Amino acid sequence: REHPPPAGSRVPGAAPRYSRRTRRVPVAYEAEAGPESPSPKWEPENWRQQLERIREMRRHRDAPVDEMGVDKCYDTSAPPQVMRYQVLLSLMLSSQTKDQVTSAAMLRLRQRGLTVDSILQMDDATLGQIIYPVGFWRNKVKYIKQTTAILKQKYGGDIPSTVEELVKLPGVGPKMAHLAMNIAWNTVSGIAVDTHVHRITNRLKWVKKETRYPEETRVALEDWLPR
The catalytic site residues sit at 175
Question: Which sign, positive or negative, has the C-alpha torsion 29, 34, 35, 36?
Answer: positive
- Classified as helix, coil or strand, 23 is coil
Instruction: Say how far apart CA 73 and CA 134 lie, in whole Å.
Output: 14
Chain-centroid distance, C-alpha 181:
12
Q: Are 185 and 153 in contact (CB under 8 A)?
A: no
DSSP string, 128-155: HHHHTTSTTHHHHHHHHHHHHHHHHHHS
Those residues with Cβ within 8 angstroms of residue 178's Cβ, 6 or more apart along the chain or in another chain: 163, 189, 190, 191, 192
